[in-house]
Amino acid sequence: MKKWSTFLLLLTALSIGNNSNAQSFQKTDLGIKATINSTAIEIQYYNPSTVRVLKSPDGRPFTKESLSVIKTPQKTTFQVKQQGDWVNLKTTALNIALNLKTGAIIYSTVHDEYLLKEKQEGVQFTPFNDAGNNTFTVQQSFELDNDEPIYGLGQQQQGKMSQRNVTLNMVQGNLDDYIPFFQSVKGYGVFWDNYSPTVFTDNPQGTSFKSDVGDGVDYYFMYGGNADGVIARMRELTGQAPLFPLWTFGYWQSKERYKSQDELVEVVKQYRKMGVPLDGIIQDWQYWGSNYLWNAMDFLNAEFPKPEKMVSDVHQMNAHMIISIWNSFGPQTKQYKELDKIGALMNFSTWPQSGSDLWPPRRDYPSGVRVYDPYNPAARDIYWKYLEHMYKLRLDGWWMDSSEPDHLDAKPSDFDNKTYLGSFRKVRNAFPLMTVGGVSTHQRAIDSGKRVFILTRSAFAGQQRYGANTWSGDVTSSWNALMNQISAGLNFSLTGIPYWNADIGGFFLSRFKRKLEDPEYRELYVRWLQFGAFTPMMRSHGADAPREIYQFGQKGNTYYDAIEKYINLRYHLLPYIYSTSWDVTANQSSMMRALVMDFPKDKNALDLNDEFMFGRSLLVSPVTNAMYVKPVPGEKETIQAEDFSEIKSKTTYLPDGTDWYDFWTAEKFSGGQKVSRQTPLDIIPVYVKAGTVMPVGPSVQYAEEKKWDSLEIRVYPGANGKFVLYEDENDNYNYERGVYATVTFTWDDTKKMLTISDRNGSFPGMIGERKFNVVMVTGHTNKVIAYTGKKIVVKF
């Protein structure tokens, strides 16, 4: 990092010589205030490494209660000193310099390493009439180093890892989840706390946020030292991520849509009959019947006559079920009528636009469906009042579709819709936060015995606190779409929201006219499923063709066997995955990790968009191009046929600073190089970081079928390492009261010694005695250890 001291000393010397022009500032309990060039500026400390910056035109007091930030500013010890036109603030973690002539702010570390600065005259307030309210369009500009990668800003399907040289029109959509937060490789983050349509711009002239509506500028600067530290600061501000139940990390099957309860139950029966693991099934829309009854949250479709039996049948097969709910209501629903009475329905076009199920939709028979106002607490109460009826059926979670929400044929006047908190324009991007938060908060209030689990199509800053897993929307089935999922999920995770997934196989199969008969699609599906095995939720879903494993053949078929292999692998990795999820909750970690998180000093790793860490040990390099199809000669249209005559390969970059092991063969490689790996249909490159201690679970049909009383513990030597095995009751919130247990495995590479710690903690049903089969992957030696909760040292 560049040293800021030399430049700052020069500026100070110049300003001292002209001290008569220096403006004053006021020290407050939380920071400082100043009025500079008719702009009121306040810097508030939330802790030594996080500050809030507020700016507004002088004479226009600016106060705002954040929808995302739940932390309050804390009285923080800081030093303040004026030197000419500069006022310098210093804590144990961060230096801030405010120019009293221009109002620009500079951030640096306590070691005098330059981080970020605002552009001079970088703040702008442009008068704006927001549905009758005189306010402003607000903008703040910054200056970044030319070669400084930044990450985050939510989910964009552009295939870019670093978010430099982009312009993003940040309005929530089906495929794009915008979060106005970015973090830098330097270890700092910026959260722009505004909910209106926003344009983020990064170009040679600067980096800026510009929002349609704001009574002032409101942003947070945080320094964490590295990506994990920045995410920790962001979650301190906006809320911690609760722990999902173990069963959510198993395999999930869905499609658009099961037409009857018999069809849904039969899918679970088929998986159990075939012996293929499954933990969950999802019922998509239209179980309520017609579009005029849209989202009635009731089984009004004649094909679902006994919903209690359907849920019970699924549970009796040791599977879980979640169901689609939306954020809009048909005019014949009870919710619509009750919400309409309190003025909590908005007027703009949303899905479905027709009252008819026919395709294409008949627009001359409008559905009358309207989006509700989740900013209104009374509306959220009504929403839950009807959803609670569904909860009493013992459904296991919610699939909140269209949570952005769908805004079709959008007109500027649509944003003039009144919400409880002002115009829709003012709060538009926070819609998913409010609607997901409403369901989560209500469920948690009535039941602490079952963890909230929400699958949602959109997200906003702070949503991690509500037990929600965001999926990437109705993506098209294509190799390019698969490739783009990787950077989309990674940048989403880098905003501090750790749980993300995608429709395995892509939602729309429009590119493949032969659907499942197309060998290129079958190959794409297998590769997408392999990627999905290393994401926070492994969930197959889509339209146009069913996706159950038996649609791809039977045991012995190349595609079927590859699919089954990765579903089983997912279950073998559950002890690793569940322990990683605990690291997310307890230590503000992330499950999908861009390489910058673990290798920030390796410049070759900072902008790779086709590989990532899954947890802290596994480097995953998905295959994102067709390898085993060829054109059929003589056909008028291009038709592909499968061709497995030659095994193809993929090249993967192994980050520097550590050694790596091929997950499949245990072959060892040095980091800092590209390696080629053969990739038959049932293999994608996966590498294990040296120093890894990895638990491997048993073969099961569902996540809780067997206790972890006999685990394989793989040791990958070459560096010191540690792994914390986490266990609890698998559901409920008792873990928040300390009802869980951990066992720490520590590998000393010099002494070739694995120390298994005393077990820490306890919970009902905990295993008292167990076996660990400790495997040294080099040499394939193993030692079986009886463990009773007391410290054991294993030497190799």
- Alpha carbon distances (Å) from 637 to 52, 476, 625, 634: 60, 21, 21, 9
428 plus 348 within the same structural domain: yes
280 plus 360 within the same structural domain: yes
> Residue 189 belongs to what H/E stretch?
strand 188-192
Residue with tokens 């929530």: 172
The two tokens of residue 123 are: 């703040």
The two tokens of residue 5 are: 């001291």
304 plus 438 within the same structural domain: yes
Q: Domain ends where: 420, 439, 466?
A: 466
pLDDT in tens, 677-718: 999 999 999 999 999 999 999 999 999 999 999 999 999 999
Tell me how far apart the alpha carbons of residues 617 and 724 are, in angstroms, rounded to a whole number: 12
* Residue 352 CB partners (closer than 8 Å, separation 6+): 291, 294, 361, 367, 369
Alpha-carbon torsion (137, 138, 144, 149), positive or negative: negative
- Give the mean pLDDT of 264-277: 98
Residue among 474, 656, 682, 729 flagged as catalytic: 474
Residue among 298, 401, 503, 564 flagged as catalytic: 401
CATH number, domain of 163, equals: 2.60.40.1760
pLDDT in tens, 467-480: 999 999 999 999 99
157 plus 278 within the same structural domain: no
Q: What's residue 20's pLDDT?
A: 41
Tell me how far apart the alpha carbons of residues 784 and 774 are, in angstroms, rounded to a whole number: 6
* Residues comprising the chain, all counted: 796
The two tokens of residue 766 are: 């905990």
218 plus 353 within the same structural domain: no
Residue 66 lies in a domain: yes
Number of domains the chain contains: 3
> Could you tell me the residue range of the domain that residue 31 belongs to?
5-186+188-223
Residue 782 lies in a domain: yes
Residue 625 lies in a domain: no
Instruction: Quickly count: other Cβ atoms within 10 Å of residue 704's Cβ.
Output: 15
152 plus 27 within the same structural domain: yes
The two tokens of residue 649 are: 């390969």
602 is catalytic: no
Tell me how far apart the alpha carbons of residues 392 and 39 are, in angstroms, rounded to a whole number: 54
pLDDT in tens, 130-164: 999 999 999 999 999 999 999 999 999 999 999 99
Residue 362 lies in a domain: yes
Residue 515 lies in a domain: no
61 plus 150 within the same structural domain: yes
> Residue 253 belongs to what H/E stretch?
strand 251-253
CATH number, domain of 339, equals: 3.20.20.80
- HEC-encoded secondary structure of 720-748: CEEEEEEECCCCCCHHHHCCCEEEEEEEE
176 is catalytic: no
208 plus 328 within the same structural domain: no
Please return the burial class of 749, using the count of CB atoms within 10 Å of its CB with bins 0-12, 13-18 and 19+.
Answer: middle
Instruction: Quickly count: other Cβ atoms within 10 Å of residue 254's Cβ.
Output: 26
Q: Domain ends where: 466, 489, 519?
A: 466
- Produce one character per residue of 231-246: b if its CB has 16 or more CB atoms within 10 Å, e if not: bbbbbbbbbbbbbbbb
Tell me how far apart the alpha carbons of residues 545 and 555 are, in angstroms, rounded to a whole number: 20
192 plus 296 within the same structural domain: no
For the chain, the distance separating the N- and C-terminal CA atoms, rounded to the nearest angstrom, is 43
Tell me how far apart the alpha carbons of residues 521 and 501 are, in angstroms, rounded to a whole number: 20
pLDDT in tens, 488-512: 999 999 999 999 999 999 999 989 9
112 plus 14 within the same structural domain: yes
474 is catalytic: yes
Q: What's residue 780's pLDDT?
A: 83
Residue 249 lies in a domain: no
Instruction: Quickly count: other Cβ atoms within 10 Å of residue 403's Cβ.
Output: 30
Residue among 42, 373, 404, 610 flagged as catalytic: 404
- Give the mean pLDDT of 557-578: 98
pLDDT in tens, 69-112: 999 999 999 999 999 999 999 999 999 999 999 999 999 999 99
Strands 320-325 and 397-400: parallel
Q: Domain ends where: 415, 449, 466?
A: 466
User: What DSSP character marks residue 179?
Assistant: E
Residue 23 lies in a domain: yes
Q: What's residue 283's pLDDT?
A: 98
194 plus 318 within the same structural domain: no
Residue 652 lies in a domain: no
CATH number, domain of 772, equals: 2.60.40.1180
Please return the burial class of 535, using the count of CB atoms within 10 Å of its CB with bins 0-12, 13-18 and 19+.
Answer: buried
φ, ψ for residue 435, nearest 5 deg: -75, -40
